[in-house]
Structure formats: structure tokens, C-alpha cells
Amino acid sequence: MTPTIHHTLKTIFGFHDFREPQQDVIERVVAGEDVFLVMPTGGGKSLCFQVPALHRDGVAIVVSPLIALMKDQVDALVANGVRATCLNSSLSAAEVGRVFQQMDTGTLDLLYVAPERLMMPEFLARLSSLKLSLFAIDEAHCISQWGHDFRPEYTQLGRLRTLFPAVPIVAMTATADPETRKDILGQLGLADATVFVAGFDRPNITYTVIPKQKPLVQMAAFLSGRRDEAGIVYALSRKRVEQVAERLQQAGFSAAAYHAGLPDYERKRVQDAFRKDDLRIVVATVAFGMGIDKPNVRFVVHYDMPKSVESYYQETGRAGRDGLPSEALMLFGMGDVMTARNLIENSENAERVKIEIQKLNAMVGYAEALTCRRRALLSYFGDLREHDCDNCDICTDPPQRFDASEQAKKALSCVYRVGERFGMMHVIEVLRGSKNQRVLDFRHNQLSTYGIGTDTSASDWENIIRQLIHLGYLAQDFTRFGILKLTSAARPVLKGETQVILGRPRDAVETVAKGKKRAGGRKDYDQALFDALRATRKNIADAAGVPPFVVFSDATLAEMARSRPTHSREMLQVSGVGEHKLRQYGKVFMDVIAGYDKENASKSASNLSDADLALTLSDTQKETLRLYREGIDLAGIAARRGLKYSTIAAHLEELHDLGADVGLLRFVDAEKIPLIRARLEKVGPGSLSELREGLPETVSYEDIRFVRGAWKR
């Protein structure tokens, strides 16, 4: 029988449930349809082509821009038992020959290639003779002139739809505003593709922007206490990268520089050391870009402001890909704006310069935002949110607020009166009654909104209009020189039906002082056990010559340190543990957990000693616990004691609740556990009969008892 995509998800990749909209995407690709997917970094884009590749005949061709990125994904797939490899310039002639042989003999599920290699005539000819399951185009924004990382070699990929009309294409990116999305679809010829925009939010990332005053001191304050965490520091110039890396090294941090001017061997050394957790901090230009597939990056620092919101989003998105709390800090100074502008204006492509200057202006707007950072960031991509995030510097340390309803009406009305055809500075000039020749030429001095804002300074108007953009009342069209347009949300404001509360600019010195405040929160797992598991993972990874995250992610280790599985069935319930990895590594990690618990038996309710248990257990509970510890199964305990199966199940749940070391989930079939957990999440740990409602008939009351007991702890 052909396995289902859910079976593949669990047994191969070790995940219990699909995220939205993974299942819908996968089902369409398996059915042979084209799909365009926009999903945040760490959201699970790769599964959207990796799972279909295991459910369609033939080999999947995956277009990936960088060798390091290919290698990380291939290593992770091979660790899960998937037949995958890559074809790139790092391979010898013999290795290339072996890859071709695998292609020809049909012993590959996925092949990763660069766009240049894919579009070579001889390679296309070879592909035309093979059975292809799908094409997956990663980092698809590289094909668009509106994208922040346009790559000419990607433009040839538009021929794939013509050359291979029957092979489905799935194109993916984490970073594309509406205009970029439209351009990608056109460039790739995906007119009939189903488009999925899964949102852009990364809720586990805390966003902070502070005025740059003494940047090295500010960065050192941020990094203090983070010496054991992995992070990236971005700077705009090679010289700055080397200076910052040197200062960090002098301060005792495990740090190294990375930029395009370094020798190839040095860049490879730095990247490999970072991937293998032998190096903690990389200080880099954007050259250290899309090749990062390392999920346990805990922070990203922008020492200099990036050139666009897309770059900022992409770079901060390299933090916390495993879903654990992570931080993004940007130091912002107007000097950065001039540096970025000079870099942009060095281009000979005048059209490109205009586009990038508009994007730079939007980045400045974000850095100066006085509204929720997350709302400002997401609104740029058209992902409007109604509520603040409570996880950025503006939300946790809010600026002084004021009622700006009247100013908002004036600004929105002026945008409307100028025909929604002009940018921010022109609107401000009209509001302030400027006699600028351009204002006069368009006869905007005759509009009803001319001069109605003379009591507000130009810089204050700029601040107000930027906040109106971030809050979704105005939209900025970067394909037309940043012109402002009203959104549907503007109507209630103009009618006086909605009050607009905005923030006043904050004092820079005060913000620096408060900017040292750190996010994170209490960890809900045993840190010492996590460290022991991490050390074990490092030893296994070093022996295998792969990065530690290929073995297990930090998120998987954290869940192990939380749930402490000591049985195969319990281990399979840990997210990220599939059957292949269970066979490879399960016993080693369960032995670490069992050994840790034995050596560190605590007197807390989560792991009581026998002496403490003796004070609380009844004689019948003690007898059941004794037989359980002898390794007798449930039916055997019931038979030995002459009691009902359900009574023994009740004893074991009670023992677990009282703090005895009882592994309840080992008694439940794996496929039932997520169903019962979902019911518990919905109604809480109520009565067995209440929990039983809506569950399949195959789920017994004993199953519910065991999962309820584990869930409560």
C-alpha cells in the first residue's frame, strides 16, 4: 500500500502535523499542479517539495543558489534515510560520474543543482531522457528585478515550463512583496499556478532597533551572557566586518570575519566551523547570505542598517529557524543611510538605482518607526495585522502616545487630493504650503489641503505618514517611485469613525539605556540535560562529519529535555525524530536521559525519590509500581494482581501524577497520541467521558488516561 503524506511526514521527517498551508501545497504538487509558495524562513518550505518528491515517480530537481545550502539540505535528507545528492562545482569528475549514474539508474529521489548547471544544454538534454517528478525553485525572488537579491542566472529558469510542460513546478521564497510575487509568476511562466502566501510573521523573533551611538559598546552589552549562543553580525563594508570581528576576538568572543574579499579556503573554513558549532559568531557582509541553513542561530545583529526591508527580513530570518526564542538587534544611525545610498548609486543601472533608493527609504522608515516593529515589518509585505505583537522594543518599551486623528485626516485627505500619484515628500510640501515649483506646476497650491499642516514640522509630518503606512492606512508603491495610496482602512479615519493614536519620537539616549533589556523568558526544560544532549549530539556529528543540526535540531533536544523519553515509543513522539533517526541515534540519547535522571534524581514533584513516594503511595499503588519496574506489561500486572486492566491503568496515571518515574506513552499506539493531545488542548484534562467525545472508537479510556497523565506533567 502506498504510504500517505502524513505517514511520510512522521516516519521520515519525524513531525506529527503539517503546518498551514503545507498539506494543501503538497497535495497539489503530488497531483501534478504548479504552486508558488511564500512562507517565512523556518516555516517549512522545504517539506513542500521534499514530501512530494517521495510520492511522485522520478527524480525531483531542486534549484538552489549556493553550494553550502545544497550540502546542508542533502545532509539532512540523507540523515533521514532519503536518497538525495547535489551536483555542483565542488565535486570531482568521479563524483559527478556517480551522480549521473544514480540519475540514469533511477536511484535518486532528489537532486540539488545550481541554476547555471540546470540550464546548460547538455544537462537539459540528459534531463529530457529521465522521468522527472518535479522542479523545485528555491529562493525564487532571485528571478525578479523587484527582488532584493536579483540574480541574472535565474532568469533562464523561465524556459522550464516550455521545455518540460508536464513536470510540475513549485517555486518558493520567504521574501516577496506583492509586486515581486507578480513578477516571479510572470518570469517563470506560472500563469496557472496556485499561489499560497503563508504570512511573513516570525513570532519567536524579538525585534529591537536602537540609535547607534557607541556601537561596539552597545553590541558588547547585547552579547554579554551570549558567549555560548550562535549568532551573526552584519555590516555593510568589508573593512567594518574585519574591524568588528577583531574587536570581538579581543573581547574573548569566538568570532570570525566573512566577506567576498577573503580567500575561498578562509570563507569555507569559517562557514564550516560555524555550521559545526565550533565557531559562535560570524561577522559578515551580505556575502554570508542564503547559504545559511543553520537552525540554531539565536541572534542576528545589524551593526549597520541594511539597504532594504527585504534584506533585513531575510537576514533577521536566519535567527530561530528551529522556532525557539531568538533576537534581532539593529543599530541605526543616519551615517548608515549615506553609506547604503553610496553603495546603491555606484550601480550603472539607472532603473535599478531608482528601485533600490525607494527600498532604502522604506528601510529608514522602519528603523524610525514608533509603531509595533512587527506590524511595520509585515505591512511592508502586505501582511496587515490588527494587534501589536508584545515582542518588540516598541511594544515592551512604548514611546509616548498622542491622539493624531486630525493630523491623520489631513495627511490621508492630501494623498487623496493629489490623486494618489505622489510620494511622501511632495504630500508634505502640499500640507505645509510650500511654494516649491513642482507644487505650483501641478497646481497643488489650489487644493483644499494646501497649507492645512503649517503648524506641524516637516520631520513630524514624515514621522506621522510613516506610522500611517506601518498601520496600514497608506500603501507605498515602490514600482512607481514610492507614491502613496489610500487603503480600505483609511475610509473610517477620514469619516472620523476611527481614532488614530501614534507615537512621539523617543529620546535617543533613553532608548539606548533601555535597549539593553533582553527578551527570552523562562525555559520550560532542564538546561543541564539539554547541555548533556547537545554534547552527545556534537560528538556524533563530528564523527560523521556533518553539522550537529543534521543529527537533531536544538528544538528537538529541548523537547527531549522537557519530556525525557526513555522508551522508543516515547522518543517517536518527539518532534524531529523519525524512524530512521530513532534507529540511528535513539538508544544513545535515551541512555543519556536515563543516566542523567539516575545521577540527578531531584526531590521535585517531577521526579520524587522512593523515600518521598513512600510517604504518599498506598500499598496497592506501591505494588503496581514494583511490578512496573520489573518490566512487566499492563496485562501481566493486571493478571499478577487479579485486578482489572483499567484499574492498573488508573494506578499508573496516579503514580505519574504523584511524581513517580512512569513512562505512560509507551502503552499507547503512536498514531493515537496526537489525536488525544489535540482533544486535551481543546477541553483540558477533564473527565474521561468528556475527553472520549469525538475521538475514534479505537481510542480506549486507558489510552486517554495515559496521554492525559503525560500531558498534565
401-505: which CATH topology?
A: Arc Repressor Mutant, subunit A (1.10.10)
State the alpha helices, DSSP H only, in 39-92. Answer: 47-53, 67-79
Q: What are phi and psi of 385, to 5 degrees?
A: -120, 145
**Intrachain domains 401-505 and 527-712 with the same fold:** no
Instruction: Kindly indicate the confidence band of residue 446, based on its pLDDT and cuts at 50, 70 and 90.
Output: very high
> Which cell numbers hold the place of 561?
529535555
Helices and strands counted in the chain (H then E): 36, 17
Better-predicted residue by pLDDT, 667 or 55 = 55
**DSSP-derived secondary structure letter, 665:** G
Residue partners of 359: CB distance under 8 A and separation at least 6 = 148, 307, 308, 309, 310, 478
Residue tagged 517531577 (cell numbers): 606
CATH of 205-386, one of 3.10.129.10, 3.40.50.300, 3.20.20.70, 3.40.190.10: 3.40.50.300
Tell me the three state secondary structure of residue 501: strand
**DSSP-derived secondary structure letter, 515:** T
Instruction: Kindly indicate the confidence band of residue 431, based on its pLDDT and cuts at 50, 70 and 90.
Output: very high
What is each CA distance from 156 to 224, 499, 513, in whole angstroms? 47, 50, 51
> Does domain 527-712 match CATH 1.10.150.80?
yes
Peptide bond into 492 cis (omega under 30): no
Q: What would the pLDDT profile of 28-67 be if each residue is shown by its tens digit? A: 999 999 999 998 877 889 999 999 999 999 999 999 877 7
Q: Where is average pLDDT lowest: 289-293, 302-306, 512-516? A: 512-516
In the chain, what are the domain boundaries?
A: 5-197, 205-386, 401-505, 527-712
Q: What would the pLDDT profile of 139-181 be if each residue is shown by its tens digit? A: 888 887 665 566 777 888 999 999 999 999 999 988 777 888 8
Q: Please state which CATH number belongs to domain 5-197.
A: 3.40.50.300
Kind plus residue range of the DSSP H or E element containing 87: strand 84-87
Better-predicted residue by pLDDT, 303 or 141 = 303
Contact 312, 383 (CB under 8 A): no
Give rounded-to-5 percent helix, strand, coil for the chain. Answer: 50, 10, 40
Q: How far apart are the first and last CA of the chain?
A: 38
Q: What are phi and psi of 35, to 5 degrees?
A: -140, 140
Q: How many C-beta atoms surround the C-beta of residue 28 within 10 A?
A: 20
> Which cell numbers hold the place of 541?
556529528
Assign 3-class secondary structure to 102-154: HHHHCCCCEEEECHHHHCCHHHHHHHHCCCEEEEEECCHHHHCCCCCCCCHHH
Angstrom distance (rounded) from CA 601 to CA 561: 14
Residue tagged 515517480 (cell numbers): 57
Furthest CA-CA distance within the chain? 99
Q: Quick one: pLDDT at residue 605? A: 40
Q: How many C-beta atoms surround the C-beta of residue 225 within 10 A?
A: 9
Closest of 274, 373, 282, 291 to residue 330, by C-alpha:
373
Q: Quick one: pLDDT at residue 508? A: 40
Q: What would the pLDDT profile of 496-543 be if each residue is shown by its tens digit? A: 999 998 887 654 434 434 444 444 444 667 888 999 999 999 999 999
Q: Quick one: pLDDT at residue 310? A: 87
Closest of 86, 98, 90 to residue 62, by C-alpha:
86
Q: What would the pLDDT profile of 593-624 be if each residue is shown by its tens digit? A: 988 876 664 434 444 556 556 656 778 888 88
Contact 372, 389 (CB under 8 A): yes
Closest of 128, 347, 341, 388 to residue 236, by C-alpha:
341
Q: What would the pLDDT profile of 670-693 be if each residue is shown by its tens digit? A: 778 888 888 887 777 777 878 888
Does residue 3 carry a pLDDT above 50?
A: yes
Q: What would the pLDDT profile of 397-424 be if each residue is shown by its tens digit? A: 888 888 999 999 999 999 999 999 998 8
Angstrom distance (rounded) from CA 426 to CA 415: 9
State the alpha helices, DSSP H only, in 277-431. Answer: 309-316, 334-345, 350-367, 373-380, 393-396, 405-417, 424-431
Residue partners of 36: CB distance under 8 A and separation at least 6 = 140, 170, 171, 172, 181, 184, 185, 188, 190, 193, 194, 195, 196
Q: Quick one: pLDDT at residue 469? A: 86
